[in-house]
Amino acid sequence: MVPHPSLIAPKIKLDLIQPVETMGPYELCWCRSGKKYKWCHFRREQQKPVNIYELEAKMIAEFRDGYCSFPDPSADPCSAIITKAHTVQKKGGLAAIAEAGHVLTVKPSMKEMIETDGNPQPRKVGVNNASVFPGFCSRHDTTLFKPIEGKTLSLTKDIAFLFSYRAIAYERFAKEAQLRITYIQREADCGQPFWKQAMIQMQLAPVIAGIRIGMRDLDLWKGQFDQRLLSGARDDFHFVSVRFDQVLPVVACCAFHPEFDLHGKPLQQLGRDGVDFDHVTITVTTFQAQTIVVFGWIGSDDGPAKALAESFAAIEDERKADALIRLLFIHTDNLFLRPSWWVSLPPSERQVLNEMTRSGTIMRARSAGEMADDARSFSSAHVAEIVRG
């Protein structure tokens, strides 16, 4: 692979916010909410403090507020109901790792974040609510994804494309919801003294800037996938798929910027100016008692996405399940676990994986070391088949 331009591009200069104690009432507020000062931070220390749990309820309500992600509803109209679309199919996929109708999610609630001092553990969630997002109307959810919702599957390019399409649609939806949620978090400084308002807003500003950049990329990628969904063109869609000979204790669906391959080699560097970034989608699910992993992307057949997928394919078969589990814990919270597998892991291994879920946040920077093989073993399986296209 030719080194990605982001590896040598200059860093984006962060334009830090400057908190100001008083401003003209009709000036734009220093916190960059886009509101006039009078309607934003004016006398904020006297405003009613927000209850963090109420705030979270408000955020969850934001996420429930759905819409259909199908790109051309004028030609192919939506149905009235926005459904809870599964990113991993319920029958066969989630069901294959569920116990008593439950799986574990690694996505913490804010309450747990606070109560555990930022170290929450995976928690139970019912399969009806696992991996869902209100991102399609029931008609399009059914018709678009029918070929990947059945009992059996043959790994063609069209099938791989659908897995990737759903992953991109989910990530775009989730990123937008995250942006709305982070806007709400800006209210967490109501009733606080000025120094605390400044601190909270200065912490949130770079987070919001990062989400906006992520959103821009996801809009671009979703647009590329939409075009090919409608036209049927698949020439610059590529995939690498691995089928294991048994069920692994995890399922997942995600899309992200590949930053390191599975040997720890840098692929792209985020936060760089003037470069386009590559994406990769990963779906891990189960068909006929075998776990299937699909890496898919639109673009170069010799770029970061390909390098990540091939670094996975190159790992010796006995270590692939471990590499996959590590990769998923690092890159996605749309990840679900078989409960008895999780509790069977030694506490030290659980802790290692749990800490990986904070990767790429302000709590933990991404690193080459976390992606490379550390000889830890979480699960094992043999590889039945590798398909490329």
202 and 17 in contact (C-beta within 8 Å)?
yes
Which of 300, 299, 372, 378 has the alpha carbon at shortest distance from 335? Answer: 378
Which of residues 17, 106, 127, 137 is near Zn ion by CB under 5 A? 137
The 336-365 site mask, x for binding Zn ion (CB under 5 A), equals ------------------------------
CB 354 within 8 A of CB 122: yes
How many residues make contact with Zn ion (CB under 5 A)? Answer: 10
Q: Tell me: does residue 372 bind Zn ion (CB under 5 A).
A: no
Task: Give 21 or 273: the residue with its C-beta nearer to Zn ion.
Answer: 21
H or E element in which residue 52 lies: helix 52-64
Distance CA 167, CA 54 (A): 30
Q: Which of 33, 143, 182, 192 binds Zn ion (CB under 5 A)?
A: 33
Rounded Cα gap, residues 361 and 366, in angstroms: 8
Nearer to Zn ion, 68 or 98 (CB): 68
With CB under 5 A as the contact rule, the residue among 17, 40, 94, 327 that binds Zn ion is 40
Looking at this protein, which amino acid is placed at residue 128? N
Which among 345, 334, 337 is positioned nearest to 377, based on CA atoms? 345
Stretch that binds Zn ion, among 22-30, 143-151, 244-252, 274-282 (CB under 5 A): 22-30
Nearest to 275 by CA among 8, 50, 54, 2: 8
Contact region for Zn ion (CB under 5 A) — 134-142, 155-163, 268-276, 287-295? 134-142
Tell whether residue 68 is a contact of Zn ion (CB under 5 A).
Answer: yes
Half-sphere exposure (CA, 13 Å, Cβ side) for 42? Answer: 13
Give the shortest CB-57-to-Zn ion separation in angstroms: 23
Can you tell me the distance from the alpha carbon of 389 to that of 241, in angstroms, rounded to the nearest whole number?
9
Q: Is 20 in the site for Zn ion (CB under 5 A)?
A: no
Check binding of 41 to Zn ion (CB under 5 A): yes
Q: Is 198 in the site for Zn ion (CB under 5 A)?
A: no
Q: In this structure, what are the phi and psi dihedrals at residue 133, rounded to the nearest 5 degrees?
A: -150, 145
Q: Is 31 in the site for Zn ion (CB under 5 A)?
A: yes
Q: Does 70 bind Zn ion (CB under 5 A)?
A: yes
Q: Decide: is 208 part of the binding site for Zn ion (CB under 5 A).
A: no
Q: What is the DSSP string of 181-241?
A: HHHHHGGGGTTS-HHHHHHHHHHHHHHHHHHHHHHHHHHHHHHHHHHHHHH---TTEEEEE
Q: Does 327 bind Zn ion (CB under 5 A)?
A: no
φ, ψ for residue 357, nearest 5 deg? -65, -15
- Closer to Zn ion at the Cβ: 40 or 250? 40
Q: Rounded to the nearest whole angstrom, what is the least distance from the CB of residue 135 to Zn ion in the complex?
A: 10
Pick from 4, 6, 17, 29 the residue near Zn ion by CB under 5 A: 29
140 near Zn ion, judged by CB under 5 A: yes
Which span sits near Zn ion by CB under 5 A: 90-98, 140-148, 239-247, 275-283?
140-148
Distance (Å, rounded) from C-alpha 144 to C-alpha 227? 14
**Stretch in the footprint of Zn ion (CB under 5 A) among 132-140, 251-259, 282-290, 352-360:** 132-140
For Zn ion, the closer of residues 139 and 243 by Cβ is 139
CA 208 to chain centre: 16
Q: Which stretch binds Zn ion (CB under 5 A): 68-76, 95-103, 157-165, 289-297?
A: 68-76
- C-alpha separations of 38 from 16, 87, 189, 195, 378 in Å: 22, 43, 16, 19, 55
| x/- letters, 73..112, toward Zn ion (CB under 5 A) | -----x----------------------------------
Let me know: does 14 contact 209? Beta carbons within 8 Å: yes
Return the number of the residue (229 or 371) whose C-beta is nearest Zn ion: 229
Least distance from Zn ion to the Cβ atom of residue 215, Å? 21
In the complex with Zn ion, the residue whose CB is nearer, 40 or 328, is 40
Is 242 a binder of Zn ion (CB under 5 A)?
A: no
Residues that bind Zn ion (CB under 5 A): 29, 31, 33, 40-41, 68, 70, 78, 137, 140
